[in-house]
Every structure is written in structure tokens, then in C-alpha cells.
A and B are shown apart, each in its own frame.
Chain A
Amino acid sequence: MPLHPPGDKLVDLPTAVARISDGALLALGGGLSARLPMALVRELVRQGRRDLHLIGSAHSIDVDLLVAASAVRRCEESYVGFEQDLGLAPAYRRAAEAGTIEVAESCCVTVLAQLRATEMGLPFLPVRGVKGSDLRRLHPEYAEVTCPFTGEVLVAVPAVRPDAALIHAPIGDRYGNLHLDQPYVLDERFAPASRQVIATVERVVSTGEVTGAGVTIPAHYVAAVAEAPFGAHPTSCYPDYAYDRPHLAEYVEAAQAGGEELASYLKTYVYGVDEPGYRELLGPDRLAALHSWSRSTEDWKGLFG
């Protein structure tokens, strides 16, 4: 697979998402409450994508929303939930218990090894753990390998090559150079291991501004970039905004209720609006408040109290 040649890769969000087919193996960038590619996720739902196969480390509303919209066939995250704060992921949990999605729960280290194998052009890599864990039962594809030097028997995990990595960044240029703030989570590994990176950015800026801030994901991994302000909302995208805890709580409540309440959330925030409409719905005051973290510790705490 060749690298993505230089060029102007700036497109609108629907065009970027149209590059993803039903049944695709998708790596979702960010993690937990930070920098989840939510504008891309919402657009996947609007375009009615089905049978997606998701892989990643620790995730929350991105996976849950896709499952709630019946877009997912198989999940291979190491965690899906809202931590101690807001609890289990309602739609994911319901689908896993009903058997309407395949759950092949994984481990951060295992997923990392599988991506690195792809990066190195190898068919597999060994991991030291997994033995003694029932996670192995969820992965009949795992095997064992004997080290030719020490005789040690290790679990071998196959290379994974996602069809696309969906990554949201605070800034990027029109050619696809992206700057991220830490935590990068698996994004730096997803980019070279995937066939293409589909990116959204808070702001499209000059190449000089991205190189000044530092390029985390270079353009040669990126196939398309779209501008999507608040594209990680309701998760955080520092330094621009903290996560929107009340909105996450609103989602979790609707998803727990299921049925009409969940349908109403999806209609209001996803199906019934495009991304500019989504931002309008949230309102400029609410969105501006999420930036108040930078004013003082008290303001920052106030967002989470």
C-alpha cells in the first residue's frame, strides 16, 4: 500500500466520510473522554453505514453511539464505558448482552502489538501476557509461538490493518499534516498501520502553524481532512475545550432509557442536523463555557463539579 501522495486533501465532512464503506474495519482515534472523532462518528450514522468492525483501546460515546444507531457488527476495544463517573456504556452493554453485536474484547497491549506487526510488515507479533486470561477464548485467531532462542512459549497475535483510522485534531493543514495534544493514545500507531487516515480538525491552518506546533501525524498517512469545529464534542479537544460532562450525562441517560428517548437523542443531535446545526443546537454560550478551563482552576473545576 503506497503512502498517500502530497496534494490538497481538504474536503467537506460528508465527502470525507463517503470514503468509508459498509463493513469497514475502523480504528477510532482518541480515548475515553478525550478527542474522540465525534463529528466523523455522527456523519457515519447520518450516512447509514452498517456492519462496521471497530478496534481500539478505551472508548466511550463514540462506540456506544455507533452501536445505538445499529452501525456496528463487531467490537474489539479494550474498554467501552463512561468510567466510574457515568458508568457502563448503555447501548454497547445492551447489544452485547442480547448478542446483536459480536464482542471480541481485547487488551491495549495486544491491539498495540497487532498494529505494530502491520507497521513492520510482519504477519504477527508475540505478547507476554494473555495466557491465563479468558480474553483468549474470545479470540480463536490467537496462536502460540515458541521462541527459537529461549524456548519460551508466547501468545502470537495476528497483524491488524484497519481500512481507515478516524482521527480528530485541534489543528491541521489542507495537505493533512496534523498536530495533536497528548494523550495521543493509539493515534500515532493507527496512522501508519491503517490504509488511510480520515481526519477532522478544529481549524485548518497554514503548514507553518502546524509545523510550529509540531506534526504528530504527517500528511503522507492522511487521505482526507475536513474542518469540523467542536468535532470531538462532547469529548474534549484541548487546548480548545474540555469535555462536556452534562451532555455526556444526557446521552447516557437517553441511552439507558433506550426506545423513544434514545431515538429522540439521535434525531435531535445526529439525524436531524448537520454539524453546523449541531453546534447551533448546543449554543454559543455552552460551547464558549467549555473553553473557560483556561481562565482559572476554579473555572476548570466548575465544569466538572
Chain B
Amino acid sequence: MTQFSLDEWFVVLLARTIRPAETVFHGFGSPCAQVAMHVARRTHARDMTLIEGAMYAVNPDPPFIPPTSNDASLKRGAPYSMRFEEFFDAAIRGDVDRMFLSGGQIDGHGNTNVTGMGPSDTGFKVKLGGGGGGCNLAATIRHLSLWSSRHRSGRALVEACDFITDMGHRNPAGDRVDLGYTGGGPQWMVTELGVFSFPGGQARLDFRFPDVSVEEIRAVTGFELRVAGDLRTVVPPSSAELSALRAVDSLGIRRGEFAAAELDRVFDHDPAMGCAC
């Protein structure tokens, strides 16, 4: 295990947004987040409650992660699967600590668009799939971990979303306090270029990958880039994290989220460096 790839590092960073003992959920069609939850549960967050996406299975041990979110492999080993309404009720009453969310567009307040690009009143220019349960879940789940694997395209992190499917910290309708939202909103945003936090409800670059510069990141970020005074490079994955990831995602489904050029980014692993366990 002398090298690792960008997709592996990215998933490990997503996994680290999970704190021990949290109850965590991912939406469907979210391979990176899905793999990240299993990595966390096998490394630093063994006591988390993992609710598996579209299966609503509680703490399963899937033999592999399939390319669809509601295959029966994803409930293997789970002593219990929630009913659909059982999960959504838990989330709405505030019993779920964290959810992973992405979007075709994400703005600097963490609002996300998974509905469509272009003006919605005349029919979208590009109709995206839709938001599942996000527009209610984002209101009440305690923390949101956002991700984008397409930051470099220049189209993903935008000044303003064409359509807001899921509420971030603030948008034209008001902020979370105005709207009576009990969840805390986006806490982290991981992209293939760096990691953002949301002090004051606004995205700030806290970490960058070692092979990209702040200038490169600024050039592809649609909102004004705030940078932490103590900007650091992201902490490399530990051997434990990499082996957990490779065991759980043996089909490599996480790789489907990235442009081909990103998958060529390979890094050397220094066994003496950065164990997060």
C-alpha cells in the first residue's frame, strides 16, 4: 500500500466529517458518501448508527457496495431495517445527526440544486433527477456534510443556484432561524480540490489538496472564495482508513463520481505519516 488515489482520499475526508456515536444517513445515488459511512464505521466511529440510504437498514455489513442504492446486498447483516416513514419521522423530529448531500449546483451558503439548470418557469435547460427527501430533511437533520466531485468544472460551485432544492444556511426566503428550521445546516463541504467549513453560514476554504493551488480553486469557484488564515493541506488517509475503504468498495463504485482526469491523481503513502485512527 504505497500509493492511493484522489477518489480514495476524497472518500476518507467525507468519512472524517462523521463524529463518533452520530446517527448518519446518505441519500440514494451517492456512492462516495455511502462508502464513506462504512469507512467511518470501520475506523474512528465504530459506535455510530449507520442508516443505509434507500434500504433504511440499520448498521448493515454489506459484502460489497453495489451500483444502485436499494439492492438487497445493502441490508446484509443489519439486525433491522426501518420502514420508509420510520426513517423520515426520525429525521424530521431531530433524531438524525448527519446527512450527506450533493448537488449539480452548490452556492456559498450551502444551498443545493438537484432539480434542474436554467430557468424553471419555461422548462429547465437541463432537468436533473430531483432531490428525494432532501427539501424536508435538510431542515431538521442536525448537520449536513456536502460534497461535490465536479468543483473543477467551474459549473458546480456557483454564485447563485438556478433553483434551490435544499436549503443551506440562508437564501432569499431567509435564514434557518427565520424559517424555524431546527437543523444546523451545512457543516462541511468536501470537493476534489479542498475542504470547506461554514463559519457564519458562509463557505470558507480550510484545507486544499497538495496538488492544487488556491488560485486554481478560486478560478473555478463561482462565489467569492474566503480562505482560512491557517489554510492547511488535507490530512492523508491512514492505512486503516485505506484498507477499510478498499474492503468495503471492492467494485470501486465511488470512482463513477469523478471525471477521468481526477482519477489519475495518485499520491504516495508515507506509512509514518498522518494516522487519523
Contact = CB atoms under 8 A, between A and B. Distances in A.
Interface of A: 31-34, 57-58, 77-81, 83-85, 88-89, 92-93, 96-99, 103, 105, 107-110, 112, 116, 127-135, 137-138, 152-154, 181-186, 188-189, 236, 238-239, 242-243, 245, 293, 297, 300-301, 304-305
Contact of A85 (B68, B88, B138, B167): B68
A96 B121 CA distance: 11
Enumerate the 5 nearest inter-chain pairs by beta-carbon distance, A residue then B residue, closest first. A129-B136, A81-B129, A109-B136, A108-B133, A83-B29
Given A88-B127, A129-B140, A137 B67 contact: no
B120 A243 contact: no
24 contacts: A32-B68, A33-B69, A33-B70, A34-B54, A58-B132, A80-B130, A83-B29, A83-B68, A89-B129, A97-B123, A107-B133, A108-B88, A129-B139, A129-B181, A131-B181, A132-B174, A133-B167, A135-B131, A182-B83, A183-B54, A183-B56, A185-B84, A245-B68, A300-B64
B28 interface: yes
Given A153-B180, A304-B251, A305-B251, A297 B137 contact: no
Nearest to A150: B180
Interface stretch (B71-79, B196-204, B218-226): B71-79
A91 to B, nearest CB: 11
Query: At the interface, is chain A mostly helix, strand, loop or mixed?
Result: mixed
Interface in B148-168: 163-167
Nearest to A305: B251
B256 interface: yes
Majority secondary structure, B binding face: loop
A132 B69 contact: no
Contact of B127 (A97, A110, A239): A97
A110 B131 CA distance: 12
Nearest to B88: A109
B139 A186 contact: no
B146 to A, nearest CB: 16
Contacts of A58: 28, 54, 130, 132
Given A129-B140, A132-B164, A189-B85, 7 more contacts: A58-B28, A80-B130, A128-B136, A133-B165, A133-B167, A135-B135, A186-B84
Given A32-B54, A97-B124, A128-B140, A297 B165 contact: no
A258 to B, nearest CB: 15
Contact of A33 (B68, B166, B171): B68
A85 B92 CA distance: 29
Given A88-B128, A107-B133, A183-B54, A134 B84 contact: no
A58 B69 CA distance: 11
A34 B137 contact: no
B130 to A, nearest CB: 4
B70 A78 contact: no
